Amino acid sequence: MEFSIKSGNPEKQHSDCLIVGVFEDKKLSDSAKLLDESSLGAISAMIKAGDMNGELASTLLMHQLPNVMAKRILLVGLGEEKSFAAKQYLKALRAAVKAIPSVAKDVGFYFTELRFNGMTLHEKTAQIAEVFSDATYQVNALKSKKPTIVALKKVVIFVDKIQESDASLALAQGLAIAEGVKLAKDLGNLPGNVCTPTYLGKQAKQLAKDYGFKVDVLEKAEIEKLGMGSFLSVAQGSDEPMRLIVLQHKKGKKDQKPIALVGKGITFDTGGISLKSGSEMDEMKYDMCGAASVLGTFKTIGELDLPINAVGIIPACDNMPSGKALKPGDIVTSMSGQTIEVLNTDAEGRLVLCDALTYAERFEPSAVVDIATLTGACVIALGHHAAAVYSNQDALAAELIAAGEVAYDRAWHMPLWEEYQPQLDSNFADMANIGGRPAGSITAACFLARFANKYDWAHLDIAGVAWKSGKAKGGTGRPVPLLSTFLIKRAMVE
């Protein structure tokens, strides 16, 4: 798909399909009005006849309007004009994308002209690329019947002449984020027998080749040398070889400390000896979505060649039961030297992340953000709308949350109070790996915090947002938009 920015009146555009908005109460958007005037009232006639009432996300396809060069006009309902805002804009946009006729080879959006509080031209433009990509995503399914080929080749976003250069930058960023999201979805959707730690390592190497990142993919012997006893203890139950993946992008100032992204890469989580129950266990192939979001964000970084220094760290392995597997009660020694009593082998995410967090110290990072499908408790607390944010620096949490707001990839600040820490007390080791039933997402974050006290750190629990269950089962690519927006903003100030 080729996206471009253009300006010009709608009636003069040679296009297979132009997309314009219509409010309730017969109120036309600027472009709909121009088309209506040229066609001597063809659109208002349709509205009068009751074919289009402007209801939010309703659509009507019209053909061959008189004095209009485009072959088709897609009217999209915008709802009430006075309540039109970002949410409605995104909903109308999604409906429009879904209603594009399959024969159209090129389409043009007259959408950024819609004015309302809360979204800049930049956001409106970037979101066209992102929503478009999201709504037309096809799972790279392992189905023998290949998906139907779409005719659509070109998407034009119309803006005012003076907005063209601003919109072009916004489009580039929107497309780069969309690419990152797509990679994260693809990786998440792949099954555990394909998307193994080895496979993730290969993906990282491919990204490094495509964008000039430095890459190291460490194997078991090197991970042993580093003393990652906690990470190793999770991997020991599986025949699938483990990996520690390290990506580096160095395009910031030379002395600038990097931002490190650490992603949980459990390529399948059975729970280990503390085995999960069978229902929906297949969804634990998504337990590497933190890792996928790091790789996806690196794709965005690479596409934009952001002037920043960034490190990606991914501890990847399976969590399996076996004769060699970690057992409840086992005590392991983390890379930091702190010992951990493993009371539940299903709390494995924190066991792999703690060593990756210690490893991050060697990069002297300005901030470390870890991303993990860490706890079912997070899903209970926040459902599927917001990721949980924990941080040892309120300013960093605020920065991430603000980035999530701009990117429509929301997150919510959770407490990381000292009062929760005693839930991790162990009689036999420095700490236990679980903190009991109350506040499960918080105590998991408290555990990680003990390994992240040498730098500014934030933890995103993405268990509720990384994939959808049910009929629309699939990865969402979240929080790539949040992370990318966070890094783009950092690149602008630094």
Does 269 bind Zn ion (CB under 5 A)? Our answer is yes
- Which range in 348-356, 411-419, 441-449, 481-489 contacts Mn ion by CB under 5 A? 348-356
Span between the terminal Cα atoms of the chain, in Å: 33
Q: Which does 465 bind (CB under 5 to 8 A by kind): ligand BES, Zn ion, Mn ion, none?
A: none
Is 276 considered catalytic here?
yes
371 Cβ contact list (under 8 Å, min separation 6):
261, 262, 263, 264, 290, 293, 294, 460, 462, 479, 483
- Which range in 40-48, 214-222, 342-350, 453-461 contacts Mn ion by CB under 5 A? 342-350
Say if CB 179 and CB 130 are below 8 A apart.
no
Does 302 bind Zn ion (CB under 5 A)? Our answer is no
Q: In angstroms, what CA-CA distances link 240 with 28, 219, 262, 322?
A: 59, 11, 21, 12
346, 355, 399, 409: which one binds ligand BES (CB under 6 A): 346
Does 318 bind Mn ion (CB under 5 A)? Our answer is no
Here the tokens at position 218 are 């460490």
Instruction: Determine phi and psi for 310, rounding to 5 degrees.
Output: -140, 145
Closest CA to 126 of 252, 387, 304: 304
Query: Is residue 262 classed as helix, strand or coil in its secondary structure?
Result: strand
Whole-angstrom Cα Rg for the chain: 25
- Which range in 28-36, 130-138, 339-347, 484-492 contacts ligand BES by CB under 6 A? 339-347
283, amino acid identity: E
Q: Which of 124, 182, 264, 350 is catalytic?
A: 350
Paired residues of 157 in beta bridges: 5, 109
Does 287 bind Zn ion (CB under 5 A)? Our answer is yes
Say how many CA atoms lie within 13 Å of 403 toward its Cβ. 23
Does 11 bind ligand BES (CB under 6 A)? Our answer is no
Does 346 bind Mn ion (CB under 5 A)? Our answer is yes
Please identify, using beta-carbon distances, which residue of 269 and 399 lies nearer to Zn ion. 269
Say if CB 365 and CB 258 are below 8 A apart.
yes
36, 186, 269, 409: which one binds Mn ion (CB under 5 A): 269
Residue appearing with tokens 């992340």: 353
77, 229, 312, 440: which one binds ligand BES (CB under 6 A): 440
Please identify, using beta-carbon distances, which residue of 240 and 346 lies nearer to Mn ion. 346
Here the tokens at position 475 are 């990865």
Residues binding ligand BES: number (CB under 6 A): 16
414, amino acid identity: M
Q: Considering only residues 462 through 481, tell me which ones interact with ligand BES, judged by CB under 6 A.
A: 463
Does 461 bind Mn ion (CB under 5 A)? Our answer is no
Please identify, using beta-carbon distances, which residue of 275 and 402 lies nearer to Zn ion. 275
- Which range in 130-138, 218-226, 369-377, 470-478 contacts ligand BES by CB under 6 A? 369-377
Say if CB 226 and CB 358 are below 8 A apart.
no
Does 321 bind ligand BES (CB under 6 A)? Our answer is no
Q: Considering only residues 268 through 297, tell me which ones interact with ligand BES, judged by CB under 6 A.
A: 269, 287
Residue appearing with tokens 């470390």: 368
Here the tokens at position 47 are 């509205």
Does 349 bind ligand BES (CB under 6 A)? Our answer is yes
Does 375 bind ligand BES (CB under 6 A)? Our answer is yes
Could you give the CA distance from residue 440 to residue 59 in angstroms, rounded to a whole number?
44
* x/- letters, 379..408, toward ligand BES (CB under 6 A): x-----------------------------
Here the tokens at position 471 are 């009929």
Here the tokens at position 136 are 């037309």
User: Residue 44, Cα to own-chain centre: how many angstroms?
Assistant: 41
Does 426 bind ligand BES (CB under 6 A)? Our answer is no
Q: Considering only residues 372 through 391, tell me which ones interact with Mn ion, judged by CB under 5 A.
A: none
Please identify, using beta-carbon distances, which residue of 139 and 379 lies nearer to ligand BES. 379
462 Cβ contact list (under 8 Å, min separation 6):
289, 290, 293, 371, 372, 373, 374, 387, 478, 479
Does 377 bind ligand BES (CB under 6 A)? Our answer is yes
Is 350 considered catalytic here?
yes
Q: Considering only residues 335 through 394, tell me which ones interact with Zn ion, judged by CB under 5 A.
A: 349
Q: Which residues are catalytic?
A: 276, 350
Interface residue list for Mn ion (CB under 5 A): 269, 346, 348
Interface residue list for Zn ion (CB under 5 A): 266, 269, 287, 349
Interface residue list for ligand BES (CB under 6 A): 269, 287, 344, 346-349, 373-377, 379, 434, 440, 463
